[in-house]
């Protein structure tokens, strides 16, 4: 039967697989993206088999030559992928056998598709993590450069989306640099667990051939081998861990997206986003919509969903490998793609931000942002904090009735709330005075923002 010729396992069955089942169970339409790492893993496996004497020199050279031709075909887009052959592994193996004969059939000695696919995913994800780390650094670079430009630009800091205290725009940008720094640490840490070799575990119990797994690991740049064959073929923790880290990174970018959207609205007018990241309206000619940040918010839900899907996929699986695990690739690949696209576009978009300092300073002066500074001023003159808090609250209520900022009240008006207030109070009631007073590590004083910028520029080698 033709079906028997196409399947690696057909000899056990009396009838061919139905066309619907072929389509339902095939993975080649999405796992073909792992073709290059599949070939990389196969060549390392063949090298090891040759060195331990399982594969002859002639067969080994034939495999090397045939794989080189196949790799060229794949890179040139002329490789003929077949759903009948189910997955990337069987497509490549079948083409290799067609090219070099029995030597191609010997390549699968000492391994199974179970440990082969686990190896491919780890190789592919390892490359994806390395790219992710570079892309995060690019976003951080854009944010650090923006922070450096605006180390002195005052803006309102918010809690509950209400004006709280003055900060600088540079300080605000650096908060996201710190978040992304933690994201990088998570990906780098996850990479250590990704970088373990499953190959040699075979289907689930290892193999009777005299293989050298540590040699294969060294050839492929793995830090070591998966120590238990059952765990090696069935583990997908590394995929879940990557997706969890990606979900956190997307969540951080979604938070920044929300702020960009708010800040760009005319009610705030703090920033403008370059036209190339926005769209208009089909009916309202005045509109400039922040579509990219909005889509980042939406795509964050998509990545979060992939994390839940992978957790759900694994929660009921007994050892060892189960066909369920074919469902690991699409959410993992889409997470990689979505995160990569988001980081790339964010690195560019943040360099296209126009900051509007005047609007930010007006907002600072509308929300009694220096009220805490007035309370601190009174505490430093001996008033208990709770009493100072009450006195300033009364002063805010008075200023609000007068439609004035605290800094606009006269000394006599301020002294009506506490006789401890002197003329020096006006040094702390201005936004600049408030900023300058927070001159400690992690504070929002412009000098500290510049120090943070310098620290990040050194870490990012800028």
Which residues participate in catalysis according to the annotation? 160, 281
Report how far residue 371's alpha carbon sits from residue 396's, in angstroms, rounded to the nearest whole number: 7
Report how far residue 239's alpha carbon sits from residue 193's, in angstroms, rounded to the nearest whole number: 10
Report how far residue 90's alpha carbon sits from residue 31's, in angstroms, rounded to the nearest whole number: 11
The distance in angstroms from the start CA to the end CA of the chain is 63
Sequence-distant (≥ 6) Cβ neighbours of residue 259 within 8 angstroms: none
Tokens of 439: 């001159």
Q: Which among 277, 253, 254, 273 has a CA at the least distance from the CA of 264?
A: 273
Report how far residue 450's alpha carbon sits from residue 24's, in angstroms, rounded to the nearest whole number: 57
CB 120 within 8 A of CB 38: yes
> Percentage helix, strand, coil, to 5, in the chain?
65, 5, 30
CB 67 within 8 A of CB 42: yes
For helices 169-194 and 237-264, give the axis angle rounded to 10 degrees. Answer: 170
Report how far residue 437's alpha carbon sits from residue 402's, in angstroms, rounded to the nearest whole number: 27
Beta strand segments in 10-82, E = none
Give CA separation, 130 vs 9, 100, 102, 134, 187, in Å.
Answer: 36, 35, 37, 7, 9
Torsion sign (Cα): 76, 82, 87, 92: negative
Report how far residue 339's alpha carbon sits from residue 303's, in angstroms, rounded to the nearest whole number: 8
Tokens of 300: 């964050």
Tokens of 443: 């504070």
Cis-peptide, bond into residue 320, ω within 30° of zero: yes
Sequence-distant (≥ 6) Cβ neighbours of residue 32 within 8 angstroms: 81, 88, 91
């Amino acid at each position: 039967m033709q079906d028997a010729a196409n399947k690696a396992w057909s000899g056990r069955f009396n009838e061919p697989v139905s066309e619907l089942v072929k389509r339902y169970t095939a993975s080649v339409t999405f796992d073909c993206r792992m073709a290059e790492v599949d070939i990389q893993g196969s060549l390392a496996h063949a090298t090891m088999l040759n060195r331990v004497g399982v594969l002859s020199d002639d067969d080994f050279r034939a495999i090397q030559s045939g794989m080189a031709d196949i790799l060229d075909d794949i890179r040139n887009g002329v490789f003929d992928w077949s759903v009948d052959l189910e997955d990337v592994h069987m497509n490549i193996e079948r083409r290799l056998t067609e090219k070099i004969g029995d030597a191609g059939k010997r390549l699968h000695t000492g391994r199974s598709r179970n440990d082969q696919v686990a190896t491919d995913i780890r190789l592919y994800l390892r490359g994806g993590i390395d790219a992710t780390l570079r892309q995060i650094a690019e976003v951080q670079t854009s944010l650090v450069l923006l922070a450096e430009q605006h180390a002195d630009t005052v803006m309102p800091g918010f809690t509950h989306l209400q004006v709280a205290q003055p900060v600088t725009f540079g300080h605000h940008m650096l908060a996201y640099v710190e978040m992304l720094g933690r994201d990088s640490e998570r990906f780098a840490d996850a990479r250590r667990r990704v970088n373990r070799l499953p190959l040699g575990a075979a289907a689930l119990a290892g193999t009777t051939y005299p293989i050298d797994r540590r040699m294969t690991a060294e050839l492929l740049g793995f830090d070591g081998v998966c120590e238990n064959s059952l765990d090696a073929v069935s583990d997908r923790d590394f995929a879940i861990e990557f997706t969890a880290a990606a979900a956190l990174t997307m969540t951080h970018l979604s938070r920044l997206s929300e702020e960009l959207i708010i800040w760009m609205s005319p009610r705030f007018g703090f920033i403008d986003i370059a036209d190339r990241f926005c769209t208009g309206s089909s009916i309202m000619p005045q509109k400039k919509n922040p579509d990219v940040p909005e889509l980042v918010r939406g795509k964050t839900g998509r990545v979060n969903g992939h994390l839940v899907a992978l957790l759900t996929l694994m929660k009921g699986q007994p050892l060892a490998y189960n066909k369920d695990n074919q469902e690991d690739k699409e959410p993992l690949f889409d997470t990689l793609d979505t995160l990569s696209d988001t980081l790339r576009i964010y690195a560019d978009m943040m360099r296209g931000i126009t900051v509007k300092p005047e609007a930010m300073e007006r907002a600072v002066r509308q929300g009694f942002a220096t009220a805490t500074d007035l309370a601190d001023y009174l505490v430093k003159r001996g008033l208990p904090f709770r009493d100072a808090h009450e006195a300033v609250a009364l002063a805010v209520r008075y200023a609000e009735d007068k439609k004035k900022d605290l800094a606009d009240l006269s000394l006599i008006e301020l002294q009506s709330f506490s006789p401890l207030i002197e003329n020096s109070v006006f040094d702390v009631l201005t936004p600049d005075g408030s900023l300058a007073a927070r001159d400690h590590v992690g504070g929002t004083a412009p000098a500290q923002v510049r120090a943070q910028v310098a620290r990040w520029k050194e870490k990012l080698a800028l």
